[in-house]
Amino acid sequence: MSHTLNVVAATLLAGALSAQGSPIRYDFAAMQNVLHAAMDKVGPSTVTVQTFGGTRKTDAKWQPKPAPTPGAKKPPGKKKPPPLGMSGFAQSHGATTGIVLSADGWVLISKFALNYDPTTILITLADGRSFTAVRKGEDVSRQIALVKVDATDLPVPEFVDPKTIKVGSWAFVLGRTFGAKDPSVHMGVVSATRRVFGRALQTDAYTSPANYGGPVVDIEGRVMGIAVPMDATGRKANIDLYDSGIGFAATISDIPQLIEKMKAGEILHRGYLGIDMDHSHLGPGAKISKVAPKGAAHRAGLKKDDVVVEIDGVKVENSFHLQMLVGIKMAGDSVYVKVRSKDEEYGLTVFLEKVPDAQMEAKKPADKADPDRLPWEEPGKGDKRPGGVPDK
Amino acid sequence: MICKMGCVLLFAAVVAAQGGGGFYAFPDRTPKTAIEKTVAKLLPSLVKVHGASGLKTIQSYSTGILVSDKGHVLTLDLILIQEERTKVVLHDGTVCQVEVYPADETYGVRILKIKDEDLKKLKQPLVPLTIAKEQKHRNGTFVVSIGNCFRLAEFSEKLSVTLGVIVSRMRSGLRYHLQDVDYGGELIVTDAPNNPGHYGGGLFTVGGEWIGLNTKIVESTETNSQVSAAIPTGELIGYIQRCITRGKAGAVEPERAVKVVPVFHGIELFDHGRRVSPPAYVERVARGSPGRTAGLRPDDLIVQIDRKVVHTCKDFNLIMEKYKPGQTITVTFKRGRKVSQTELKLAEVK
């Protein structure tokens, strides 16, 4: 069966590539059947994720303007008004998608669903059964989260080894957001593999909250990854990347040991060495230009102007190569670093830490004014209503 | 959506290479592939619509579809259509004056009728499209969407074609330019790019069946993301046929009297929110009320009503407005960690 599917896919791809003239038939009816067969194979494993309650977080870049304090001077310069609909844009309360990981109730969802810190997570299976889910671990670097429901005999999809995925093969993103019986499907191809330090593949199928958490499926109905809100550096994607043709899917089958950690409730982060590099130093080795105080490198004893020669036995070619070597690691991992300092080489072990929050998130404004607070409830004004009438 | 322009232009080039007439400079080419054949068959039935608009944000152009050989053109009621200024450009470049029919309020579509004196001048007969009989195509069905995006085609130039699949059928809240849209019907969501000017064009299966009329790009309140969508043609049959058989008078639908009767369920929610509505936790249930009979208790979280999700107390009240006394609803609620369902028969307010 899989062989015939491949032949159909290959014919279609050839048809799409041959620009003009050559009499290759576009067999859309066959392609449609293949796509529907893939949907039928994975569809039962996709679930709807609904969340209730939680804090309403918006983008930290824009906050409501604080009330002007009397007597304060206006800051110089014109301030740009916040762009409507871009930053400061609240995430909707709509449903997202998830995928069954194992038959005994482990379900993988995107971290996007947990942005609100919801009090209740409701998982609705394809057959209509509903369960409340318990939050377990998360992988912040892959933007995925694991939840557990009290169910047995869930349909488990087939996962693909990410090493066998080829650029240009079909990729369909399934979602279960719009509440229909059939999963929604977006069509595209695999644009690139091993993106975001080998954590994700890139696809040109449109990804948005409509299918975040849903599986990215190949032509044979096997799961290649989970569509996640991520940008090229691995941070949380903003609304600009919705349906842009630049979508990322975290690959799953290559991280069984991390899944085990997540089942135990651990929250995993990317490993952070805590150095800045001199990118004008073209190698061999990567020259350290700055060491973050109290960072992992500082604690291990790396100094400014040291040149990192080797990481875990791999010769470092330049600063970019070092980024690639360290980027794969998770916080809590240790790396063996060989350093050349003033013509003297020595090795040391660095225990990587999680990236400090200040670097990952935009700076929070100093004034944390509660948007729900009424003017007479401002601190320092006393609990008096306007007109000096005390509140009874 | 503008980033999808590249894709649109690519397909426009493919279409431009085939067929053609008038003063269009590129040579003809016989269609070979399935899509080329379908598009060549459909293009004579699509027209460019030019209206009058003095506003920057509202495009004065869109696309229309011929629905009768008497010159009825179906288009989306978007542009500020003034009778004396509105023109329709047929596929061979002929410019026709049109008569403007009243719009259909429910679906936001409008029929334009080519004036009789212009009809007499036409060299070729009009090729109307018929609505597909099979309306319920599965998600993942290949579709082509044809329209005049960004007014790239003028006179006899060919319209743009985009390819995609049916993503889903959607019945959720919609928003356009930060304003809620009152549209209760079903929409076909596709991933075939839809851009300004593409509005009013058609959505077809690869076999050439006409299944949808492209809408403007709206935002779903479920996901806060933009969707390219089309109104299913099955929903428009009534309006089109009334216009064709009875003319201008038939376009106005007889008003249906809608009487809102409040329902009594006896459930009081813990609605303490000032601006942000909280989740629908039950505060108390009146004695002897339908809610008490259904077995609801304080501190239950109401999650769904008839499979519609209730995120907040506001959602609960909005959903309840649509029911009448005497109807039975299925309430899904969460008590502790258990999710269960119960039937609730709504009563009249005493």
Dihedral pair phi/psi, residue B92, rounded to 5°: -90, 5
Domain boundary among B230, B254, B278: B254
Structure tokens at B241: 């046929």
Q: What residues in A contact B169, CB-CB < 8 Å? A: 178, 180
pLDDT at A2 over 50: no
A83 vs B: CB within 8 A? no
Most A CBs within 10 A among B11, B168, B276, B311, hence the mutation to make, goes to B168
Q: What is the pLDDT of residue B97?
A: 92
Q: Omega into B128 within 30° of 0, i.e. cis?
A: no
Same domain, B120 and B250: yes
Beta carbons of A94 and B226 less than 8 Å apart:
no
Q: What is the pLDDT of residue A100?
A: 96
Same domain, B168 and B64: yes
Question: Helices (DSSP H) in chain A: which residue ranges?
Answer: 2-17, 28-42, 195-198, 256-263, 296-300, 319-327, 357-360
Domain boundary among B205, B220, B254: B254
Do the bridges between strand B328-335 and strand B338-345 make them parallel or antiparallel, or are there none, so unpaired? Answer: antiparallel
Q: What is the CATH number of the domain that holds B290?
A: 2.30.42.10
Touching B: A residues 314-373, CB under 8 Å: 371-372
Same domain, B274 and B155: no
Please tell me the least confidently modeled range out of A75-79, A297-301, A361-365, B307-311.
A361-365
Q: What is the CATH number of the domain that holds B193?
A: 2.40.10.120
Q: What is the pLDDT of residue B222?
A: 78
Residue B147: which of B72, B69, B230, B220 has the closest Cα?
Answer: B230
Report which DSSP code applies to A159.
B
Please tell me the least confidently modeled range out of A2-6, A70-74, B170-174, B188-192.
A2-6
Q: Write the pLDDT tens digit of every residue in A94-123.
A: 889 999 999 999 999 999 898 878 888 999
Residue B212: which of B161, B136, B149 has the closest Cα?
Answer: B136
Please tell me the least confidently modeled range out of A80-84, A163-167, B8-12, B319-323.
B8-12
B292 versus A180: which is more confidently predicted? B292
Q: How confident is the model at residue B255 (pLDDT cuts 50, 70, 90)?
A: low
State mean pLDDT over B237-245. Answer: 92
State mean pLDDT over B11-17. Answer: 43
State mean pLDDT over A186-209. Answer: 93
A206 vs B: CB within 8 A? yes
Distance CA B49, CA B82 (A): 12
Q: What is the pLDDT of residue A244?
A: 85
Q: What is the pLDDT of residue A264?
A: 94
Q: Write the pLDDT tens digit of every residue in B110-136.
A: 999 999 999 999 988 999 999 988 888
Q: How many of the other CB atoms lie within 10 Å of CB of A51?
A: 23
Domain A271-359 has CATH 2.30.42.10: yes
Same domain, B59 and B196: yes
Q: What is the pLDDT of residue B327?
A: 92
Domain count within chain B: 2
Q: How confident is the model at residue A382 (pLDDT cuts 50, 70, 90)?
A: very low
Q: What is the dihedral of CA A286, A287, A292, A295, to 10 degrees?
A: 50
State mean pLDDT over A245-265. Answer: 93
Domain boundary among B254, B274, B291: B254
State mean pLDDT over B8-25. Answer: 45
A238 vs B: CB within 8 A? no
Report which DSSP code applies to B236.
G
CATH 2.40.10.120 residue spans of chain A: 1-16+24-56+91-268
The ipTM is 0.80
Same domain, B30 and B110: yes
Same domain, B153 and B17: yes
Partner-chain residue, chosen from A26, A185, A244, that has the shortest CB–CB distance to B167 = A185
Touching B: A residues 16-35, CB under 8 Å: 20-21, 23-26, 28, 31-32, 35
State mean pLDDT over B277-303. Answer: 91
For the domain made up of A1-16+24-56+91-268, give the CATH fold: Thrombin, subunit H (2.40.10)
Same domain, B149 and B286: no
CB B305 within 8 A of CB B322: no
State mean pLDDT over B197-203. Answer: 92
Range of the domain at B281: 263-348
Same domain, B99 and B136: yes
Structure tokens at A162: 């990410």
Same domain, B249 and B282: no
Most A CBs within 10 A among B143, B222, B313, B332, hence the mutation to make, goes to B222
Residue type, A278: D
DSSP letter for each residue of B280-324: -BEEEE-TTSHHHHTT--TTPEEEEETTEE--SHHHHHHHHHT--
pLDDT at A54 over 80: no
B2 versus A212: which is more confidently predicted? A212
State mean pLDDT over B221-242. Answer: 88
pLDDT at B293 over 50: yes
Q: What is the pLDDT of residue A363?
A: 42
Distance CA B297, CA B127 (A): 63
Dihedral pair phi/psi, residue A49, rounded to 5°: -115, 115
CATH 2.30.42.10 residue spans of chain A: 271-359
pLDDT at A358 over 60: no
Q: How confident is the model at residue A77 (pLDDT cuts 50, 70, 90)?
A: low
Q: How confident is the model at residue A26 (pLDDT cuts 50, 70, 90)?
A: low
Q: How confident is the model at residue A81 (pLDDT cuts 50, 70, 90)?
A: low
Same domain, B48 and B154: yes
Distance CA B22, CA B246 (A): 35
pLDDT at B24 over 60: no
